[in-house]
Structure 1
Amino acid sequence: MKTSIVEFARHYSCLMGNCPQHCCHGWTIPVDEDTWSVIKKEPGKSGERVRSHIKGTNDDNRQIRKNFGSCPFLAKDKLCGLQKQGREDLMPLVCRQFPHQVLDLGDRREVTLLLSCYVAAKAFCEHPDEIRLIPGGDDLESYYIIENRDEPFLDFLLAERKKLLDAIADTSHELPLVFGAVYAYAAATNARYLSNATRDSVTEITLSFDKNDWGSCAALDGSGYEFFPISLMDRCIVNFIDYGFLFSRNNLLWNLIRKYKKLFGPLYESEADKWLEEELLKLYAEEPSFALRHRSYFYYTMLELYPLAYESYFWQRQTLLSIFYTELLMIFDVTEYATGKKVPDKEKQIEILCSFERGTRHNPSMTENIYNTIRSDFI
């Protein structure tokens, strides 16, 4: 199997008990089928203790039962008690491999790092130019296997991803124009591909940065910097992201959203879009590296999310979510910049990225709610 890993993974090294945003707290930890088969057979009090901390009746909902928001196997030194005992075979696969996300696509395997991990977010923030896939990652186990066997479609999908990633990396166009061009192309090719009678004619569609070429797939009118209106972003932040004891699950994100509400709450909708654009451009002017940060993040989310269309055949959805997450990062960066009256330093940038990824990207029902809002209010 051909295996590739994201380049900045070479800078990853777990901080273990010294991690400022520990992965054993605030998470839902699924127990995979293979690990459960080992746990079921574990004899004596050791087996009884492990099984007592697992809830759920099938492989779809089986998970670790948390104790005051933390994994019950977390020791006082903030290390995994099972790992300290040399019993990694009793640890769920996600725990053994986090933050590595291992995706199997036919005879290909892609390994990326989840930026909800503090060290992964740090590696990304410090090396935003190392986001491409390179050979490596052969020692990791499969976690996410897409069972599709449509190899011609997979070849097509990955070729399309490369075309879009090359367009995103082209810094001769500003990011808002890239959003519009990438979305228009993805929407047009997706519609054409799903029409069986014209599937072979997908190659006739051109990725263009000229808004006049986007036709019915145009999502921008050219009047603002953002892709989604702030009203849609606000609805998703308030209704879906800021929910249920967020202050205890993800205190950094909870505080960031409080700052966001204080800034944007007094503004009228028409003022908010303009204010966001003005502050974002001020941030870029004062610290140009933020333009690279946001472009690199869009590139990386497309790299991670686009192949998931191998399961659904709907890459328009993945493109919209990638743009949404990128714009959300832009909003939170501006929030910290405007609130603190200074450019966020590298540590703050890492905190923002890590906490926002942790609070949004790993909740399937939240993702579905966000996409349904986009579909009903925007498309």
Structure 2
Amino acid sequence: MATNTERRTATPDVQGLLNKVPEVTLWFWVIKILCTTVGESFADWVNMTLGVGLINTSLIFTAVLAAALTWQLRTPRYVPFVYWLTVVVLSVTGTLYTDILTDSQGVPLAVSSSVFAVVLAAVFGIWFARERTLSIHSIVTRPRELFYWLAILVTFALGTATGDWTLELTGWAPGVSVLLPLGLIASIVLGWRLGAGAVLSFWLAYILTRPLGANLGDWFASPSSDGGLGLGTAVTSVVFLAPILATVLYLTRSRSDVIEADGQTRTVDAGNPTRVRIMLGYYAVVAIATAALLVWAHHQPHAAVASEEGDTAGAASAPLTPEQATTSFPAAEVAKFRTVTADTLAKLTSGDQGGATTRIGDLEKAWDDDQPTLQPKNQQAWTLLDGQIDQVLRALRASKPDKTTEVKALNTLLISLG
């Protein structure tokens, strides 16, 4: 949403930078959603498809983030390529940090969502107490710039956690899950048009673009059997990276999103106080209605969504025996999975931790490649094996691997594979 109710004023008491963020136009929101989608799909591609592992991927992108953010901070003015590169890397990194809490540390999504919400409130509170504004059109000092980027990082982590928590509660398919954040953003745009505070509306919409982009990424990447388009994480990343680059090139040439080049800042028009209070009530009603919708959806019969651990919350069917787990699948494929698992166990027991970690990547790739054909044959069997494979991957790729845990996970999988 463009904040065209703002007025430009000279501020001799604020020293230093030109405004280093873009004008909030339609282009801003388009490229922001594209960036968040890439953050979801690219993180999954590097972590799982390439077999780098969650912790290693997080370390890599933390280093990349430090480099990108340093470049952005040293840039004297808004440069589209540098700014949006930083946003993309923040999107990937924020996703990974949430995944670490959920997958590696076992923190429930409800807890991580609450923690990130409190952290974001604290960032905004300290930022406002120090600077007396949260408007992105006033990023003309180093402290404000640092607060801005910290807030962006936390919004990505919060958006990822709340988006995943929503899917966990509702069991919605990827395509359906896009509709909730899209509808909420539309309600915020309506509220802003009717007189809600521009700064509050901006940050609410900004947070919601994260689950919207993540759900779009899941929709494009997920197999058709899960309600997705089946493009995979690599193709999805390319599909969204291409328009990002095209848009950044256009903005670089047109400079249509440059706020100003004269070192002035803007003061946000507070708007009509009565309307602002009324629209605060409107936002509260939207929040209550959203919570009611999620509670209702949670209590509706639906297929349980497999978690990262491979569990299916609320699964009503009886557990499968090892023989039942593989009878629905081609014997040749099962034998391939069993061979890789046995090789991994042999390397591990011989003391070759690195070789075992590398070898298990072959199982992950083979399993992911066969998902479109195996999962429709027997959803329950596929979910069981998928969860056991995830446990093996987590054990072998842990930052401090425990051999007992690794051997137990591999043996459990071997039993299921016959």
Structure 2 length-normalised TM: 0.23
Larger RCO: 1 or 2 (CA < 8 Å, sep 6+)? 2
Q: Larger strand proportion, structure 1 or 2?
A: 1
Which of 1 and 2 has greater Rg? 2
Structure with the largest fraction of helix: 2
